[in-house]
Amino acid sequence: MKTIDIIVPCYNEREVIDLFYSECKKVTDRLEDYRFRYLFVDDGSSDDTLEKMKKLAENPDADYISLSRNFGKESAMYAGMKNSSGDMVVIMDADLQHPPALIPEMIEGIEEGYDCTATYRATRDGDPPLRTFLTNKFYKFVNRISDVDMPNGAGDFRIMNRKMVNAVLAMSEVQRFSKGIFSWVGFRTKWLSFEDVERAAGQTKWSLRKLFLYALDGITAFSTAPLRLASIMGFAVSFSAFVYLICVVAKTLIFGRDFPGYASMVTLVLLIGGFILLTCGILGEYVAKIYIEVKKRPIFIVEETSLDDIKEEYENEKNNKKIN
Q: How far apart are CA 88 and CA 147, in angstroms?
A: 27
Q: Does 5 bind ligand UDP (CB under 6 A)?
A: no
Q: Which does 302 bind (CB under 5 to 8 A by kind): Mg ion, ligand UDP, none?
A: none
Check if the beta carbon of residue 45 is closer than 8 Å to that of residue 71: no
Q: How far apart are CA 178 and CA 170, in angstroms?
A: 13
Q: Which does 74 bind (CB under 5 to 8 A by kind): Mg ion, ligand UDP, none?
A: none
Amino acid letter for position 158:
R
Least distance between ligand UDP and beta carbon 87 (Å): 24
Q: Which residue among 6, 94, 116, 160 contacts ligand UDP (CB under 6 A)? A: 94
CA nearest neighbour of 164 among 104, 98, 81, 77: 81
Phi and psi based region of residue 184 (left: phi greater than 0; alpha: psi -120 to 50; beta: remaining): alpha
Q: Show contacts with ligand UDP in window 8-37 (CB under 6 A).
A: 9-11, 13
Q: Does 131 bind ligand UDP (CB under 6 A)?
A: no
Amino acid letter for position 68:
S
- Count of residues making up the chain: 324
Contact string 134-173 vs ligand UDP (x = CB under 6 A): ----------------------------------------
Q: Show contacts with ligand UDP in window 33-92 (CB under 6 A).
A: 43, 70, 72-73, 76
Backbone φ and ψ for 300, nearest 5 degrees, come out as -155, 160
Q: Does 299 bind ligand UDP (CB under 6 A)?
A: no
Q: How far apart are CA 261 and CA 39, in angstroms?
A: 70
Least distance between ligand UDP and beta carbon 79 (Å): 10
Residue 160: strand, helix, or coil: strand
Closer CB to ligand UDP, 35 or 82, in the complex? 82
Q: Does 97 bind ligand UDP (CB under 6 A)?
A: yes
Binding interface with Mg ion (CB under 5 A): 93, 95, 97, 199
Q: Which does 185 bind (CB under 5 to 8 A by kind): Mg ion, ligand UDP, none?
A: none
Least distance between Mg ion and beta carbon 145 (Å): 27
Closer CB to ligand UDP, 175 or 204, in the complex? 204
Closer CB to ligand UDP, 208 or 249, in the complex? 208
Spell out the alpha helix ranges (H) of the chain.
Answer: 17-28, 49-56, 73-82, 103-111, 129-145, 162-170, 178-184, 208-222, 225-255, 262-294, 308-323
Closer CB to Mg ion, 9 or 218, in the complex? 9
Residues 6+ apart with CB under 8 A from 275: 233, 234, 237
Closer CB to ligand UDP, 55 or 199, in the complex? 199
Give the binding site for ligand UDP (CB under 6 A).
Answer: 9-11, 13, 43, 70, 72-73, 76, 93-95, 97, 199, 204-206
